[in-house]
Structure 1
Amino acid sequence: MLSSPYSLNSVLTPGDLRRVHHIALNVQNMQASRHFYGNILGLHELTGDEVPETLKDLVVQGKVANFITPDGTILDLFWEPELLPPDPNPERTFTRAYHLAFDIDPPSFDRAVEVLRQNQIAIAHGPVTRPTGRGVYFYDPDGFMIEIRCDPI
């Protein structure tokens, strides 16, 4: 039996965490990132009263943009103009997060790949077909890997 450094009285149990509330990404070019997530990927950008009260000042200053995914998860983009990955080659992972994956209806997968191509988004891997479904991997304007995937038909 493996020992744990954590007390059994101080751990969360299944069901304590309800859902992912938000994902925050640092971005170097806010305009390019807003275009990428809003226009190319089609996520809804929160504006006006939709913006959480705690972020309104930062949004007005152009330092934060908020998008909502179809399942209700918020994607926060934080403007960091001096952001540089440790290596300019995006093939080398530079954060502890590997990628952000969006699910799509299987009949729409090929259209999503075509949208990427039409917008000259370089595809890093794929499209690939696996027992778990199909996926295509590409980078956002800051070199963070994004996946669009679907379940098998």
Structure 2
Amino acid sequence: MLSTSESIASLTGCLRQVHHLALNVKDMQASRHFYGTVLGLHELTGSEVPETLKNAVASGKVANFKTPDGTIIDLFWEPDLTPPDPDPKKGFTRMNHFAFDIAPELFDQAVEVLHHYHVAIDHGPVSRPTGRGIYFYDPDGFMLEIRCNPSP
């Protein structure tokens, strides 16, 4: 049996990328609109849906979206699950936010899209030495960020 330090060290270099994020959502229709229309992510359909999720997708309990880098966002419909606080700024979750990267020349356009769809903005746009970002909420109060590297 490996010691704790050996087992941790054995994963070094093995993890390749985020495979998927699984989010509980209260309103599947609003969330599908948000991730598919507002953010423009590709919704998996037909043979793209993993075999293990086909029944859940067919019954409307799960929707899957693919980001341009291949990360999958799974939405699990939980209509009776309520957040600890309806104000997303006060609700504690185990995840702070997840961020989407965008080319610097498209950042302002992304901000305009968020405003066009009246997406709740937490803060930003902000400029930092690491680039620009804007933080906003999806329909279930998950904080997301669109960020870009500094312009060349």
Q: Does TM-score exceed 0.5, indicating one fold?
A: yes
**Worse overlay, 116-125 or 101-110:** 116-125
Return the match for 1:13 from 11, 14, 18.
11
Return the match for 1:36 from 30, 34, 37.
34
Aligned to 2:106: 108
What percent identity do the matched residue pairs reach? 69
Extract structure 1 runs of 4+ deviating beyond 6 A. none
Return the match for 1:128 from 126, 129, 132.
126
**Worse overlay, 12-21 or 93-102:** 12-21
Deviations 1:32-67 (A, max 9, x none): 000000000000000000000000000000000000
Aligned to 1:3: none
Aligned to 1:66: 64
Q: Which amino acid aligns with 2:5?
A: L
Q: Which amino acid aligns with 1:7?
A: T
C-alpha deviation, 1:13, in angstroms: 3.0
Q: Which runs of 5+ in 2 are unaligned?
A: none
Structure 1 length-normalised TM: 0.93
**SS of the residue 2:40 aligns to:** coil
Q: How many residues align?
A: 148
Q: Which amino acid aligns with 2:112?
A: E
Q: Contact 2:25–2:140 at 8 Å: present in 1 too?
A: yes
Aligned-CA RMSD value: 1.0
Return the match for 1:85 from 78, 83, 86.
83
**SS of the residue 2:115 aligns to:** helix
Q: Which runs of 5+ in 1 are unaligned?
A: 1-5
Q: Contact 2:84–2:91 at 8 Å: present in 1 too?
A: no
C-alpha deviation, 1:9, in angstroms: 3.1
Deviations 1:14-40 (A, max 9, x none): 211121111000000000000000000
